[in-house]
Amino acid sequence: MYNSAGNGGYQMVGGQIKDTHNRCFGGRFWCVRDICGIICAVMTWLLVVYADIVVVLVICSSGGSSSNGNNANAHYTPASSLSAYSVINFIIFNLLAFLALASHTRAMLSDPGAVPKGNATRENIELLGLQEGQVIFKCPKCISIKPVRAHHCSVCQRCIRKMDHHCPWVNNCVGENNQKFFVLFTLYIALLSLHGLLLGGYHFVTCVGSEWRHCSSVSPPATVVLLLFLIFESLLFAIFTAVMFFSQLSAIWNDETGIEQLKKEQGTWERKSRWRSVQSVFGRFSVSWLNPFTLPPLSVRHQPFSYAV
């Protein structure tokens, strides 16, 4: 049972004060209440759903019959006799779509590594046991002790550990705790877009050489419009997410966040080796690297708060 514990996003739970800022569903999920981010996140889902509808209704429902090229006798094949081409592409496309949306959801609803608000009290600072020559930084906006490599996000209204950037498409910051999910999201969207581009382009070309009314279960004008928009959408997002994916891999490989690259900050932290930097995001090498349902390794306890001067 939740009872109010004053303002600032804190509530009393079981006799303890819990931080509920940017939290929803009883504090179990991280939720950023930004209207622009919410619209972008909903648009992401709608675009994936649109692509899936086109692939199912226009491409896969034809049973691959349009692949006969100049064969004017090609005809629409009912679902009961779909070809191996349609079944295989249906499974691959929907599997990629599921993994992309699962990664998107995990990136959106995971705490990116928020520093507790208002923890810059005299008592907490004394508990750090600072030695001579060590200093700490306090965020004036959320009144928190800023760990090394943490940055304040004006949208999330929190300091985020190892913050890379704020992404409106996932309506969240990309930080220490959810970077794996964001990387997987860009990877699966890029693969999904590439697959959609190949399917849409191939189907469009083969339909040009045959009778349009035999190319899908919808009318020829609708088929043309749906395929053209699918090709345009797939090309656009294939390029965009591929660039984001490789930029994220480069940042992880060099143990440098996007903000640090942009600001050209001089490293005051001990840089990890390239392999250890990759493992800090994805964990030990295994197939779980590609699984959006496995948690990334959490390094909160190893995050230093003090800066040497």
| SS3 assignment, position 135 | strand
Task: Please enumerate, as own/partner, the contacts of 101-106 that have beta carbons within 8 Å and a separation of 24 or more.
Answer: 101/45, 101/48, 102/292, 102/293, 103/181, 103/182, 103/184, 103/185, 103/187, 103/188, 103/292, 104/41, 104/44, 104/45, 104/169, 104/170, 104/181, 104/185, 106/178, 106/181, 106/292, 106/293
Known catalytic residue at 153? no
Rounded to whole angstroms, how far apart are CA atoms 298 and 29? 17
From the candidates 167, 173, 207, 215, which is the catalytic residue? 167
Active-site amino acid positions: 167
